[in-house]
Structure 1
């Protein structure tokens, strides 16, 4: 009898103990689960194997001017950066429009603003002739009073200025820059075109900034500077240039270029991980990073601190299409080949940075992808979408990666989150010397969208 009572009592105790346990006690741990510490250590080991040091991938602080790649002909200084930051966002420079309707309503930042990772936020960035902004540029459309031919747009998706310090030539076809990849292309620096600015002898960032002011109908005249609040800023930025040559469009471009070189995504979680922060990345992000630098082979094109590259690749992506302004000309469609005139360069485009893509709704040079996952799927399957690009023109690296759905998901999380600097507003001024406080546009619709009225 006592034996039966004891068995019943033991059963009751077992039930009570079991009922007090939390649901977590029943979570099964997969056999392939790895500890965070192991994920971190194996990632570091892989990076050391590839680069020899984690420093090879670290973006410097934006104030470490000597650590940021400089153009020897345009040393980065605090005074230049300060001036360039203001000029980059200054809508008062929009004084060379095709229509008075757009006068003083646009800036460099119209197509390169912080809310979209210093891209445009739309498939085709609009400078002069744009109307509206939305939350991150997504509502900018052609102004209803503009003819299509008068709107300032390009026949290719607007690239970012983020991490451009790690590029020696600029734009998708690399046409700006007098050295590096462009050595030997002098015959293509056509007089009377923006490419002629290469003859000034600067690197890509500087050349593009100078040429871009003219292309995008922005002007800096001596009268505007000498009789305005920017004079002292130019004096501080260019003290060694004779006063009669100091207040020029070229120097404005050089100041903008120094600012652009300091626009770095150095607060992204991956950057924090590289600097020793063991809490910067989740386990999924760490797995994605290992795939990026391993099975996914992403690092073969996207490398260095900017995770970009100076090589040009033909990946068979589509050009701009659908509801676009204007047409895509043959030279633009041919990418690098459209600039160099070398058939071997046809349909090759420069490798972009992978930082801050989460806010970008259009990816690829033609904006044919609407998410990071879409473009990873495309590269994983390696089936070209552009019928104009023949098989023998495709890059040898464009081959199936055989990533599983889970691996694609982890890789997507790494790119979207670990490479995302959420504090880019630090590169936007509170106001400019001319009183501008609303960025990046000053048309009536944008002022409403930005709550600047």
Structure 2
């Protein structure tokens, strides 16, 4: 018999209380001497509780070509033809045809701010599209071009979220403003012309909406002429056979193809995923202890749950905002207000979307304001439970943000779980070997070509 959510909630709370109290006991059931097989058993039990009875299957990603089991937008069904097109367009610097300066033409792509080496997010505190110069090894070497002043730079006002596992996000952006359903049902009055959320009127979910608005917002385009020029016309025809030709080669269809590709970006080769599928040696004992803390007395899964260890929730945990000291342009006041900056609701101020947790080992910055530079710093911050941002007073803080009283050893184990068990080290499988324009990617400026060792075709 399946327990109701209410009864599961009572059971979870009760068990968490027992686990938390046990942390101070000398006979703590989770210790460095607990056998690996016993850790496996305890973790399986913890996952059964955290998933409200679903068990380990609740956390398993599908394969990236198992389209029927990947969460998708019913108005943009996943197909092989569409995803193949999107994979190329995501990396296509040839779409960069609307720059503010002529020298920026054909020098950037979606992957400029979402590259695989950094876990499909920016390698810098802020992503830079047009006006960026260089790449480095994982995007960390991209800097503002001296010929661009701040008003011309395409630079993000907040840390760039990852595209990894975005299939499990129905609303996107840190404030969740993109996506026509779920959290945004009832906010239609805010979808005004000229705003990013205006694209919600198309009726798509978050990933699709973001991909569509992202092309025009970041000075890219798709037209019948571009599709013909670069050789994408036949791919669009195969991906969108039901669209009339007059609507087939546009930023909307290009965005839908990109979103299709993004939904296949799953960290399904991470150690935790292998463990869930039966390879118990895929996680070390320290990582297993860390997982037990994550799903137990660390209370992490109260916000981070499901396959991507993310939810549709928003939480105010007092992290600092992006400041101008990081790059040439600081964060905007609205982006620093979180969900409340979009909705205007006071009780949602400073609440940001709960992010997914895979491949954080690749991330150089953490928090919406890039105020942390290591995962350990984030865990220690949450363990202290003291807000970093003076603007986020007790009135706004999520009640779950409180001192966790984890020991140093527990913090060590939790970091190991997050860094290594949730790390898929083979994300390069999602990068195409080339694109149809023959331009270098993810960037195509002269310094990036040198950094990437790329010679345009």
Give the TM-score normalised by the residue count of structure 2. 0.91
Among candidates 351, 355, 358, match of residue 352 of structure 1: 355
Question: Counterparts in 2 of 1:285-434, with a 5 A limit?
Answer: 285-321=287-323, 322-434=325-437
Instruction: Measure the CA separation in 1 of the matches of 2:148 and 2:126.
Output: 16
SS in 2 for 1:326: coil
CA contact (8 A) 2:211 2:255 kept: yes
SS where residue 141 of structure 2 aligns? coil
Name the CA distance, whole Å, in 1 between partners of 2:88 and 2:128: 20
Quote the offset at 1:65 in angstroms: 0.5
C-alpha distance in 1, partners of 2:225/2:355? 38
1:47 counterpart = 2:50: no
> What SS is found at the alignment partner of 2:175?
coil
Equivalent position of 1:268 in the other structure = 270
**1:136 corresponds to:** 138
Who wins on radius of gyration, i.e. which is larger? 1
For the 8 Å contact 2:291–2:414, the answer to whether it is kept is yes
1:32 Cα shift? 5.5
CA distance in 2, matches of 1:171, 1:334: 13
Q: Distance in 2 between matches of 1:194 and 1:98?
A: 19
**Distance between the aligned counterparts of 2:247 and 2:435, measured in 1?**
23
- CA–CA distance in structure 2, aligned partners of residues 194 and 76 of structure 1: 24
> Does the residue aligned with 2:47 lie in a helix, a strand or coil?
helix
| Separation (CA, whole Å) in 2 of partners of 1:409 and 1:343 | 37
In the other structure, the counterpart of 1:27 is none
Alignment of 1:65-144 (within 5 A): 65-144=67-146
- 2:220 corresponds, among 218, 221, 230, to 218
Mapped to 1, the partners of 2:343 and 2:78 lie a distance apart of 30
CA contact (8 A) 1:163 1:353 kept: yes
Q: Secondary structure at the match of 1:66?
A: helix
The secondary structure found in structure 1 opposite 2:281 is: coil
Matches within 5 A, 1:3-82: 33-51=33-51, 52=53, 53-82=55-84
Q: 1:221 to 1:32 in 2, by over 3 A?
A: closer
* Partners of 1:226 and 1:247 within 8 A in 2: no
Secondary structure of the 1:391 match is coil
SS in 1 for 2:370: coil
Give the length in aligned residue pairs: 423
CA distance in 2, matches of 1:439, 1:60: 28
**CA drift at 1:50:** 2.3
Deviation of residue 118 (structure 1)? 0.2
Q: Which structure 1 segments of 5+ residues have no match?
A: 1-29
1:168 aligns with: 170
Residue number in structure 2 paired with 1:16: none
Deviation, 1:227, is 4.2
Give the Cα separation in 1 of the matches to 2:333 and 2:34.
51
**Please, what is the CA RMSD of the aligned residues?**
1.2
| 1:184 aligns to 2:190 (yes or no) | no
TM-score normalised over the length of structure 1: 0.92
| Matching of residues 198-237 of structure 1 within 5 Å | 198-237=200-239
Q: Deviations over 1:94-151 (max 9, x none)?
A: 0110001110000000000000000101101100100011111111100121112101
The structure-2 alpha-carbon separation of the partners of 1:90 and 1:370, relative to structure 1 and needing over 3 Å to count, comes to: same
Could you say which residue in structure 2 is the equivalent of 1:12? none
